[in-house]
Amino acid sequence: MKNYLNCKINKKIRLIINHQGKKRYLFWFYVTRDGSFQLSTGYKKFIMSGYGSKQLEKSPTRINYDETKYLTNKEDIEKSHFTYHASGAIHIGLQKSYGLPLRDLNKQIHICSVLFEHPYNFPIIEHTRVNDTFLKCSIDENAPLQCKIYVAPKNNWKKVSIVNFTNQDNRRFCFSKLLVTPDFITPDLVYQIVIGHGPKGVWPKETFIDAIGSKTKHELH
């Protein structure tokens, strides 16, 4: 089916976008044998990386990305990717937080969001691979591109969309795919990757990956 991506264990799926006649490499993701999920941007080498945290609120949470604290150690910068482990541990760069263990998951949860810098900043690729998938949409210059990633049991997932998504404007909805874990993996999971243009605004100068978790396991409920 068109809405499903081929999930091969430990095999990166690269997300590519055609922009101004060039193939741009936005980010990659893959699933491990125990169902863990890993993601990072398409850059071969990170020049800079930073971190921060924000307490979630009942109303929509506003994140001030200008408060980012930047890393200075080269080895730390190169570790800047997102991992949601089957145990529920979440790593993003040097920061660690906690989500629900995937083996005990009985509902759909939001695990990660990405706010992209403009596509022209991303690496150009000349050759595609078997596992590459393409983001087919016209870029809205007045609304940054964003991504939301959810995970759920196979028998309890529901379709989600980007905030401010409108059926009347096809440009705002770019990508919605399901990544279903193979039958030999326990637990049986569905990862949902949704990409689109959110609220109107200025494109950020950097790409931000936001993990949704708690500082301690005791805060989970």
Q: What is the pLDDT along the chain (221 residues), one digit of tens a residue?
A: 458 888 888 899 999 998 888 999 888 999 998 999 998 886 654 444 444 444 444 444 454 545 555 545 555 555 667 899 999 999 877 778 889 999 889 999 999 888 888 988 888 998 999 989 998 878 888 888 989 999 999 999 998 877 554 444 444 456 788 888 887 676 789 999 999 888 888 898 888 888 887 876 655 54
Maximum Cα–Cα distance across the chain: 50
pTM: 0.81
> How are beta strands 4-5 and 173-180 bridged, if at all?
parallel
Alpha-helical runs (H) found in the chain: 74-77
First vs last C-alpha separation in the chain: 35
Phi, then psi, of 74 in degrees rounded to 5: -60, -45
